[in-house]
């Protein structure tokens, strides 16, 4: 469930110092660096044959966000202790203050927690000041990593999302491995099959069609027995999280970039003529087919409205629709279908994603035990159990996504598997990695609200670009 969408103003303030911290030296290419060296990593201290029991009697401290993935982990935690002899103490915080708690702890250097949940975007904030352990040396050391952990089983775009050189503007997939994918969300369209059937509609294949569909549903659904239904739910609050799901997905499918990169210089690109035209079209779609109080909408309102039959469509995380679609979950349960959403002008299905990841504190004094925990939590056995017996979706491992029992579990959701398979290899982080990400995207959301409110998109986006050039450009 995409619960990261709350406003992060306190988070932004707390991490301002991190954004200004000097960059660390990159390790080179490959998973966590190149070659067989590990630059003095604590992973070097682990030698001999791999042994799950090597840290028996140790206690690891974990900081976790309240989430279905966390529920699945805690339900299975006994099996980790039985396998390793390691006890796990944990604190679980609601997302409203989870990242505040994590940021304060990491920045303090206290190392109260050895391992923790984080989003892949947070690597751009936490990595440069040296708060995150590079997991690459651990992954490469056969004494530290079980032979059946199987790094190649992860969808490669997900593993690469946590790998970065720590240099602003540098592409993901090179440098240290600062987070492991644990569970993720692709951003697609979910729609109410009942209203689509009554109005004789079908899912949109172009953005123009999507905008028209949203307007048609808002205009005609009440007369077809769907009182108060509007056309499309998308996020609109003044938060970084408004930009990254449906908006950034459609933005990327149109071939648009947030920044252009020339060496170490980042230039804002959200005010290009093409980006201005797209943003105007997006705001017009929301005005004609969106909810009345759109500027307050987070993932939660979008998801709830889809489930309550208030929204005919939603362009957001597939998991946000999944939790409304499963049997008995909402009034719309059994009447929600999934679709990849509109293609770009060239047929692109480029899709942005959110990844809940797991990382390790660079100052932890129990790194060997912490690495065993991360291996187990991201391993095939636990993730398969979480996906089948709980709601740990989308799978980050190909073997789980292809597992017959998992597929049987979600097969009753119309279009869910087909949509996942259409976009999984086209889904990646569409943003340019840089430490001011949260500030930049929150400002972008504020600009989008102004355009929705009637201001001319060109001057608003020019102002945004000028502001971000001073903050982000080098």
How do residues 288-324 score in pLDDT, each as one tens digit?
Answer: 999 999 999 999 999 999 999 999 999 999 999 999 9
Which among 345, 321, 160, 146 has a CA at the least distance from the CA of 245? 321
Instruction: Give the tens place of pLDDT for each residue, 181-190.
Output: 999 999 999 9
Please indicate, yes or no, whether residues 271 and 386 belong to a single structural domain of this protein: no
Q: What is the pLDDT of residue 263?
A: 84
- 67-81: average pLDDT: 97
Q: List residues bridging with 186 in a β-sheet.
A: 353
Instruction: Give the tens place of pLDDT for each residue, 240-264.
Output: 999 999 999 999 999 999 999 998 8
On whether the CB atoms of residues 148 and 401 are closer than 8 A, the answer is: no
Backbone angles phi, psi at 115, to 5 degrees: -135, 160
Task: Using the Cα atoms of residue 344, residue 119, residue 395 and residue 159 in order, give the sign of their dihedral.
Answer: positive
Please indicate, yes or no, whether residues 166 and 48 belong to a single structural domain of this protein: yes
Per the prediction, the chain carries an average pLDDT of: 92
CATH number where 288 lies: 3.40.190.10
Instruction: Give the tens place of pLDDT for each residue, 206-234.
Output: 999 999 999 999 999 999 999 999 999 99
The fraction of the chain above a pLDDT of 90, given in percent, is 89
Who contacts 200 (Cβ-Cβ below 8 Å, separation ≥6)? none
Q: What is the pLDDT of residue 427?
A: 97
Please indicate, yes or no, whether residues 139 and 33 belong to a single structural domain of this protein: yes
Q: What is the pLDDT of residue 40?
A: 83
- Enter the pTM of the model: 0.91
Please indicate, yes or no, whether residues 333 and 405 belong to a single structural domain of this protein: no
Cis before 394? omega within 30: yes
Q: What is the pLDDT of residue 474?
A: 56
Instruction: Give the tens place of pLDDT for each residue, 116-171.
Output: 999 999 999 999 999 999 999 999 999 999 999 999 999 999 999 999 999 999 99
Work out whether strand 311-317 and strand 230-233 pair parallel, antiparallel, or are unpaired. Answer: parallel
Please indicate, yes or no, whether residues 172 and 33 belong to a single structural domain of this protein: yes
Angle at 4 between CA 234 and CA 218, to 5 degrees: 15
Please indicate, yes or no, whether residues 336 and 316 belong to a single structural domain of this protein: yes
Residue 10's pLDDT band, with cuts at 50, 70 and 90, is very low
Please indicate, yes or no, whether residues 368 and 450 belong to a single structural domain of this protein: no
The number of CA neighbours under 13 Å toward the Cβ of 105 is: 24
Q: Which domain holds residue 450?
A: 186-351+432-471
pLDDT reading at 8 higher than 70: no
Structural domain count, the chain: 2
Tokens coding 15 = 């991490």
pLDDT reading at 2 higher than 70: no
Nearest-angstrom CA–CA distance, 327 and 333: 6
Please indicate, yes or no, whether residues 157 and 123 belong to a single structural domain of this protein: yes
Please indicate, yes or no, whether residues 281 and 410 belong to a single structural domain of this protein: no
Separation of first and last alpha carbons in the chain: 36
Backbone angles phi, psi at 259, to 5 degrees: -135, 150
Please indicate, yes or no, whether residues 112 and 221 belong to a single structural domain of this protein: no
pLDDT reading at 339 higher than 90: yes
Please indicate, yes or no, whether residues 175 and 224 belong to a single structural domain of this protein: no
Which among 189, 186, 243 has a CA at the least distance from the CA of 211? 189
Please indicate, yes or no, whether residues 198 and 326 belong to a single structural domain of this protein: yes
Q: What is the pLDDT of residue 39?
A: 62
């Amino acid at each position: 469930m995409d619960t990261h969408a709350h406003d992060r103003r306190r988070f932004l303030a707390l991490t301002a110092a991190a954004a200004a911290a000097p960059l660390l030296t990159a390790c080179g290419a490959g998973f966590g660096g190149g070659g067989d060296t590990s630059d003095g990593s604590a992973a070097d201290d682990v030698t001999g044959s791999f042994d799950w029991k090597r840290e028996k009697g140790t206690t690891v401290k974990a900081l976790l966000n309240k989430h279905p993935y966390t529920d699945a982990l805690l339900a299975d935690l006994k099996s980790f202790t039985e396998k390793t002899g390691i006890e796990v103490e944990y604190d679980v915080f609601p997302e409203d203050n989870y990242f505040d708690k994590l940021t304060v702890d990491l920045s303090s250097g206290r190392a109260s927690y050895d391992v923790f949940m984080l989003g892949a975007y947070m690597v751009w904030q936490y990595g440069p000041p040296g708060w995150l352990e590079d997991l690459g040396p651990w992954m490469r050391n056969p004494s530290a990593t079980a032979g059946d952990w199987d790094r190649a089983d992860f969808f490669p775009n997900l593993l690469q999302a946590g790998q970065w050189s720590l240099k602003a503007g540098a592409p993901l997939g090179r440098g240290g491995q600062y987070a492991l994918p644990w569970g993720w969300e692709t951003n697609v369209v979910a729609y109410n099959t009942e209203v689509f059937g009554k109005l004789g509609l079908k899912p949109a294949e172009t953005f123009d069609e999507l905008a028209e569909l949203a307007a048609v549903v808002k205009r005609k659904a009440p007369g077809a027995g769907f009182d108060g239904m509007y056309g499309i739910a998308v996020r609109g609050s003044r938060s970084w999280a408004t930009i990254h799901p449906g908006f950034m997905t459609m933005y990327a499918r149109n071939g648009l970039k947030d920044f252009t990169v020339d060496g170490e210089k980042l230039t804002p690109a959200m005010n290009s003529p093409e980006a201005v035209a797209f943003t105007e079209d997006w705001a017009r779609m929301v005005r004609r087919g969106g909810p009345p109080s759109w500027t307050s909408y987070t993932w939660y309102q979008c998801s709830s409205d889809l489930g309550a039959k208030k929204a005919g469509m939603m362009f957001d995380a597939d998991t946000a629709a999944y939790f409304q679609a499963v049997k008995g979950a909402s009034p719309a349960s059994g009447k929600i279908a999934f679709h990849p959403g509109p293609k770009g002008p060239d047929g692109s299905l480029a899709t942005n994603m959110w990844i809940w990841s797991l990382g390790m504190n660079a100052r932890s004094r129990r790194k060997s035990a912490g690495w065993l925990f991360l291996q187990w939590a991201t391993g095939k056995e636990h993730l398969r159990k979480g996906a089948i017996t709980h709601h740990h979706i989308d799978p980050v491992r190909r073997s789980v996504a292809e597992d017959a029992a998992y597929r049987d579990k979600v097969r009753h959701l119309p279009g869910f598997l087909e949509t996942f398979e259409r976009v999984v290899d086209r889904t990646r982080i569409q943003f340019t990695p840089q430490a001011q990400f949260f500030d930049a995207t929150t400002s972008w959301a504020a600009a989008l609200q102004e355009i929705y409110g009637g201001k001319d998109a060109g001057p608003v986006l020019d102002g945004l670009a000028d502001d971000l050039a001073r903050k982000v450009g080098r």
